[in-house]
Structure 1
Amino acid sequence: MRILFVCTGNTCRSPMAEGMMRQIAKERGLDVEVRSAGVAASDGSSMSRHAESVLKEQGIMDRIVSTSLHGELVEWADLILALTEGHKRQIVYTFPAAVDKTYTLKEYVEDNADVLAEKEELQRLAAELELDRALGKKPDDAARRRLNELLHRLPVYDISDPFGGSREDYNRAAAEIRAALEKLADRLASDRDHSGDTGWG
């Protein structure tokens, strides 16, 4: 499994996610390759000082330099995890073929059954309304109202941006990322265990 984490400049959130996920995967024996990139990154910049010290404190000494998001990286990845909804939209807008493997990190690890059911309903309603629009039919007012209600009710899946902030801001973002990555590792381990790869053919 090849995972690509994406944020804005690839100097704060996505390199922290990359470093932590590599560590977690190694600890749990998961066969995962990890990289990171930024939708507005310049190549070769160092991680922010606070991001680097957060990782060092967790025993992660990886030297991660910024990489701008490009087509080869998108193709390389089996799963693209954006750190915010805005990043996800930008990835899908620039690389539409990646839509089926692009999520926000928190969205991908969501495990609340009620939230998942509402997300499914939202996608279905959006598709129906889009089809009505394409066919020139008048949109269903009740469906539009329900769509708006769901949009307001569903959680925001953004990881807070510590850029330019204090070490405390970086600690907070890192804690958010690590909590999501632990859930991601649980999901990957579960997928591996249920993939039928048990040596029974």
Structure 2
Amino acid sequence: MKRILFVCTGNTCRSPMAEAMLRSLAQKRGLALEVRSAGVSTVDGLPVSAHAQTALLRRDIKHNNGSTALENGSVTWADLILTMTAGHKRNLLQRFPGAVDKTYTLLEFVNRDEELLQQIAELESLYTDWQMKQALGGQLTSAERARLLELEGGIPSFDIADPFGGPLHVYEQSADEIEKALIKLLDRLQR
């Protein structure tokens, strides 16, 4: 049974919606999955946003869990970690570098454009080099900096916008985007 962890900021909007929707969609397909969610910047026990709950209820899905702070146990538990943004992914990998081979943004994971995925891997490698050089008091070369900027400009955003604090229709848009990605995820898992 595959274990999937969704990660966002506060674990009160996007990742709980993704968790609950994936659990429901997988059950409808008869696919056995274990699904959890967590936040990179939260505490345990905060309630799921009222608008996120409403967006789920409109899909006949309930989610009663409170927020969970991202910790090593969840990262170790997961076979696949899917973040809502590239920033969440970077935050997670800075804290848990051993999770690099199983961590993606949700939209990155369901995108199967191999050339684009190679560019993302190159960009992430440049970010890692940059962080290492900064830690040691160094800098990127001008060629590395130029390539980083070129890659950043050419790669589409794989972020799911944060609906936090917005009106219900913004949560619905977020839920729609997540749901479309989850259908692609299930298609990929069932191949």
TM-score (norm 2): 0.86
Cα 1:65–1:107 change in 2 (3 A) is same
Does the Cα contact within 8 Å between 2:44 and 2:68 map onto a contact in 1?
yes
**Which sections of structure 1, spanning at least 5 residues, go unmatched?**
133-138, 191-201
Does the Cα contact within 8 Å between 2:19 and 2:36 map onto a contact in 1?
yes
Kindly provide the amino acid, as one letter, of the partner of residue 29 in structure 1: G
| Corresponding position of 2:137 | none
Cα 1:86–1:142 change in 2 (3 A) is closer
Structure 1: distance between partners of 2:58 and 2:5: 23
Structure 2: distance between partners of 1:120 and 1:43: 32
Structure 2 counterparts to residues 51-66 of structure 1, below 5 A: 51-66=52-67
Kindly provide the amino acid, as one letter, of the partner of residue 108 in structure 2: E
Structure 2: distance between partners of 1:112 and 1:174: 24
Q: Which has the larger radius of gyration?
A: 1
Residue 144 of structure 1 deviates from its aligned partner by: 4.8
Structure 2 counterparts to residues 139-178 of structure 1, below 5 A: 144-178=145-179
Kindly provide the amino acid, as one letter, of the partner of residue 152 in structure 1: G
Structure 2: distance between partners of 1:108 and 1:26: 21
Residue 146 of structure 1 deviates from its aligned partner by: 3.5
DSSP 3-state at the match of 1:179: helix
Residue 140 of structure 1 deviates from its aligned partner by: 7.1
TM-score (norm 1): 0.82
Runs of 4+ more than 4 Å apart: 120-132, 139-144
- Superposed CA RMSD: 2.5
| Corresponding position of 2:32 | 31
Residue 122 of structure 1 deviates from its aligned partner by: 4.3
Identity %: 51
Cα 1:61–1:115 change in 2 (3 A) is same
Residue 118 of structure 1 deviates from its aligned partner by: 3.1
Q: Does 1:98 pair with 2:99?
A: yes
Structure 2 counterparts to residues 17-96 of structure 1, below 5 A: 17-96=18-97
DSSP 3-state at the match of 2:171: helix
Deviation per residue, 1:140-186 (Å, 9 max, x gap): 75565334212210011110000000001101111111111111111
Cα 1:125–1:70 change in 2 (3 A) is closer
Structure 2: distance between partners of 1:57 and 1:14: 17
Cα 1:43–1:107 change in 2 (3 A) is same
Does the Cα contact within 8 Å between 1:30 and 1:188 map onto a contact in 2?
no
Structure 2: distance between partners of 1:56 and 1:145: 47
Kindly provide the amino acid, as one letter, of the partner of residue 89 in structure 2: K
Q: Number of residue pairs matched?
A: 186
Residue 119 of structure 1 deviates from its aligned partner by: 3.1
**Which sections of structure 2, spanning at least 5 residues, go unmatched?**
134-139
Does the Cα contact within 8 Å between 1:129 and 1:140 map onto a contact in 2?
no
Structure 2: distance between partners of 1:85 and 1:131: 19
Kindly provide the amino acid, as one letter, of the partner of residue 91 in structure 2: Q
DSSP 3-state at the match of 1:155: coil
Residue 101 of structure 1 deviates from its aligned partner by: 1.1
